[in-house]
Chains A and B, each alone.
Chain A
């Protein structure tokens, strides 16, 4: 349980948000040409990092907007929050 600083609404309790999992997994540009292995990679394989993770969150009980969070999964400390489309403020 932690506080997330929504870039649109400010600091709110984590329970107001829904986790969207790992961020920056680009949707395949030409889905018809993907092999089964590549589909598996896109759909299922995750880094599942213990440490600094880039992830998506949705303020589902607030403004309902999506944004990105940089969080350390080993202690739940949030290092940065940035909007969709923006460059990560820390090196990915």
Chain B
């Protein structure tokens, strides 16, 4: 690997005031033809290109991105990583990703700041308690670490939580996955971009897809803002805009795109050293290494591509946060933003072939795609390279909406991802 990052390169560059670091990836113009094209330069798309090149030896690849890499949902999420999903298919998918996260910084030679600080999910009513206990058992049967905590144990694990029985949504307990945690979202995109680039992948930014060209039922290329590019294998990882791309190819997807919001506070000293999620009140919080509270809110109820989100959603989330953490009552929020998430009816993703030969879709991650980035890329690369799904993503085919074999995580693992 050229330009390997190490303590020695750090010291060496310190002597030249860090002015001589080389750029981490090239900025090429698109070639006329590629063996495969990935549409969407977020974490999932870049990871797909990386694993296609690394594991399947397909290196003549372009990743086309309409903006800048990692500028979509990869840079807009709350960076939570966990794998404590209820159903076997989801557990297999997300734990595959979690296992890759555990060695990702070393593999990419890029610090993605993966921090296994634990993720705690709170229960606020009897049904929550039953559901979360059931999920804990299901997780353990699937070899995923999960423990049930009673109210006192929740308080001990995260002392700033208000566990008074008098609040509107009292804390009746919670689950904890200790292997779960957070990572630095930008670094994931940059690490995969650098890794893919070094394997020969062309990363083409500011290149918007305008059309998908078909010859009968075989895909043959894409029209872009930088001209026509030929390829017989096209993998689309366009998150909220997946339906827009699908429509270009004459396909319809079972998706609805909605704004999902998050916000961060002013930076403060370390106060919360874990991730706490509450599905019932739809609020989750962690603290970034800079010291900001990172707060995740809910989605708007209607289709929109505005990347803003409604004020009432933020209000509801902050109301819940303040009741659970009275200590935050005087903190100021610095920034708020929205990302457009593509939600499937069963709240599970689609990593699948389509009825068009050579056209593959990786979408429907909804409100929780970041955690799956490495696994999603790995499995999507496998699907594209072999024209067959890996056994871990076989259940996440697009045909499940016809067969009825849904992976219904919506009610089961709760909405907050």
Cβ contact within 8 Å between B303 and A1: no
Q: Which residue of A lies closest to B302 (CB)?
A: A19
Known contacts A15-B312, A36-B403; is A46 also within 8 Å of B254 by CB?
Answer: yes
Closest Cβ of chain A to B253, distance in Å, is 7
State which residues 24-47 of A face B: CB under 8 Å. Answer: 36-37, 39-41, 43-47
Cβ contact within 8 Å between A1 and B310: yes
> Hey, which chain A residues are within 8 Å of B243, CB to CB?
46-50
User: Is B95 among interface residues, defined by CB-CB distance under 8 A?
Assistant: no
Task: Name B303's contact: one of A21, A40, A44 (CB within 8 Å).
Answer: A21
On chain A, the number of residues with a Cβ less than 8 Å from chain B's Cβ atoms is: 26
State which residues 297-322 of B face A: CB under 8 Å. Answer: 301-306, 310-312
> Hey, which chain B residues are within 8 Å of A55, CB to CB?
302-303
Taken together as a complex, chains A and B put the C-alpha atoms of A44 and B399 apart, in Å, by 11
Taken together as a complex, chains A and B put the C-alpha atoms of A41 and B244 apart, in Å, by 17
Known contacts A15-B310, A44-B401, A45-B252; is A50 also within 8 Å of B302 by CB?
Answer: no
Task: Name A46's contact: one of B244, B256, B306, B312 (CB within 8 Å).
Answer: B256
Cβ contact within 8 Å between A74 and B305: yes
User: Is B104 among interface residues, defined by CB-CB distance under 8 A?
Assistant: no
Task: Name A14's contact: one of B254, B310, B401, B403 (CB within 8 Å).
Answer: B310
Cβ contact within 8 Å between A1 and B312: yes
Cβ contact within 8 Å between A48 and B302: no
Cβ contact within 8 Å between A73 and B312: no
Task: Name B254's contact: one of A1, A15, A44 (CB within 8 Å).
Answer: A44
Cβ contact within 8 Å between B256 and A40: no
Q: Which of B252, B257, B302, B311 is packed against the most chain A CB atoms within 10 Å?
A: B302
User: Is B1 among interface residues, defined by CB-CB distance under 8 A?
Assistant: no
Task: Name A50's contact: one of B305, B310, B345 (CB within 8 Å).
Answer: B305
Cβ contact within 8 Å between A21 and B252: no
Taken together as a complex, chains A and B put the C-alpha atoms of A75 and B304 apart, in Å, by 8
> Hey, which chain A residues are within 8 Å of B306, CB to CB?
73-76
User: Is B126 among interface residues, defined by CB-CB distance under 8 A?
Assistant: no
User: Is B141 among interface residues, defined by CB-CB distance under 8 A?
Assistant: no
Cβ contact within 8 Å between A18 and B301: yes
User: Is A53 among interface residues, defined by CB-CB distance under 8 A?
Assistant: yes
Q: Which of B241, B244, B304, B345 is packed against the most chain A CB atoms within 10 Å?
A: B304
Cβ contact within 8 Å between A36 and B305: no
Cβ contact within 8 Å between B256 and A36: no
> Hey, which chain B residues are within 8 Å of A45, CB to CB?
252-254, 401
* A53-66 near B? 1/0 per residue, CB < 8 Å: 10100000000000
> Hey, which chain B residues are within 8 Å of A36, CB to CB?
402-404
Closest Cβ of chain A to B44, distance in Å, is 19
Q: Which of A50, A55, A74 is packed against the most chain B CB atoms within 10 Å?
A: A50
User: Is B247 among interface residues, defined by CB-CB distance under 8 A?
Assistant: yes
Cβ contact within 8 Å between B305 and A53: no
Taken together as a complex, chains A and B put the C-alpha atoms of A19 and B302 apart, in Å, by 6
Q: Which residue of B lies closest to A57 (CB)?
A: B302
Cβ contact within 8 Å between B254 and A50: no
Q: Which residue of A lies closest to B257 (CB)?
A: A48
Taken together as a complex, chains A and B put the C-alpha atoms of A36 and B402 apart, in Å, by 6
Task: Name B304's contact: one of A22, A44, A76 (CB within 8 Å).
Answer: A76
User: Is B255 among interface residues, defined by CB-CB distance under 8 A?
Assistant: yes
> Hey, which chain B residues are within 8 Å of A76, CB to CB?
304, 306
> Hey, which chain B residues are within 8 Å of A74, CB to CB?
305-306
* B330-356 near A? 1/0 per residue, CB < 8 Å: 000000000000100100000000000
What 14 new A-B contacts, CB under 8 Å, besides A48-B253, A50-B243? A18-B301, A22-B303, A40-B254, A43-B345, A43-B401, A44-B254, A45-B254, A46-B255, A48-B256, A48-B257, A48-B342, A50-B244, A53-B303, A74-B305
Task: List residues of A whose CB falls within 8 A of some B CB.
Answer: 1, 14-15, 18-19, 21-22, 36-37, 39-41, 43-50, 53, 55, 73-76
11 residue pairs from A and B, CB less than 8 Å apart: A15-B312, A40-B401, A46-B252, A46-B253, A48-B303, A49-B247, A50-B243, A50-B305, A73-B305, A74-B306, A75-B306
3 closest cross-chain pairs (CB), A and B: A48-B243, A19-B302, A44-B254
